Amino acid sequence: MKKLYFLLPLVFLACKSSTSTTAEKESKSTSKPLEVTYKVNETEISDFLKYLSSDELEGRETGTKGIEKAAVFLEDYLKKNNVKPYFKTYRDTLTNFKTPAFNIVGVIEGTDPELKKEFVVLSAHYDHIGLEKKQQPDMINNGANDDASGVTSVAAMAKYFSQTKSNKRSVLIVFFAGEEKGLLGSKSLAPKLKARGFDLYAQLNIEMIGVPMKRDYLAYITGFDLSNMAQKINEYTGKNTIGFLPKEAEYKLFYRSDNYSFFQAFGKPCQSISTFDFENFDFYHHVSDEFKVMDIPHITSFTQELLPAVTKITDSPTQEITMTK
């Protein structure tokens, strides 16, 4: 997640004072939740996250040898799971970074002749802040929670769609570089897609989901009041999956991750989902953000719980998720 240190703690988004603490309280289900029999593999979640946040990758700072190893790892994963490159290769070169740097972009074509022209973007950033500048015993900012955890979840969703072919709309899988440098990967890619006539329905960006919250909902969404995405996700899962976190509005998190670049370009529902609530994780941008402090069962169950929602988003006959402001 892009640095938060400079944010004013008392600035709020335009959230109504009557905003419920959970989306479920605001929107009654209008259809039966989708049942998904596919099971996310906990061992695969663990193995993927362990490597992506390992010392070998040296904190995955954009433009370094470490993130290059991460890029190769992600390319190999997409290829192994029959996710095709969206461009000529999986690599999308950033237009706004001084040295070669790449988003990793794959596509899973939709199964419906018409709906496949529309896209759902599932994304997370695979870069982090790299090595500490001062000499100390542990020099590596591994970025397990930020945001190897989100990448791991999106990768698992990519495998799900590639195996089940349950998406009538096309799904764009994006692993962004340069997020920690100022959302550079998404700022580069979003206008490029816009210029190609990319027909975006919605973007779900997964950001810092490595540890659970102690709340009555699984995760929160940024820009809660800007669309009905939270309510629709809860309708699709039949659970209290997404709630409203006041600190998300306080710290303006909608503007602090890669969803915002796409919102700026397309004006469509583009939001981030997270379980980092400023109370459950002490190692933000810290060398102790390591694999060993990640909750693998939680990441697995988080991904599992979102599968009905991402499936319904990709196969609903009409665009049910809409902007409200």
Complete domains list, the chain, with CATH: 29-315 (3.40.630.10)
Instruction: Kindly tell me if the per-residue pLDDT of 2 is higher than 90.
Output: no
d(CA 317, CA 325): 23
Confidence at 77, pLDDT banded by 50, 70, 90 = very high
Residues 17, 220: contact at Cβ < 8 Å? no
Classify 95 as helix, strand or coil. coil
Q: What is the CA radius of gyration of the chain?
A: 18
What single DSSP character describes residue 61? B
| Number of neighbouring beta carbons within 10 Å of residue 31 | 11
Which helix (H) or strand (E) covers residue 150, if one does? helix 149-164
CB 249 within 8 A of CB 13: yes
Q: Can you give the pLDDT at residue 30? A: 54
* Nearest-angstrom CA–CA distance, 245 and 34: 25
Question: How far apart are the C-alpha atoms of 294 and 278, rounded to whole Å?
Answer: 16
Q: Which has the higher per-residue pLDDT, 22 or 232?
A: 232
Does residue 22 surpass a pLDDT of 70? no
Q: How many CB atoms lie within 10 A of CB 18?
A: 6
Considering the chain, what percentage of its residues have pLDDT values greater than 90?
A: 90
Element (H, E) at 301: helix 296-315
User: What's the residue count for the chain?
Assistant: 325
Q: What is the mean pLDDT of the chain?
A: 92
Per DSSP bridges, beta strands 91-93 and 102-108 are: antiparallel
- Report how many helices (DSSP H) and strands (DSSP E) the chain contains, helices first: 8, 9
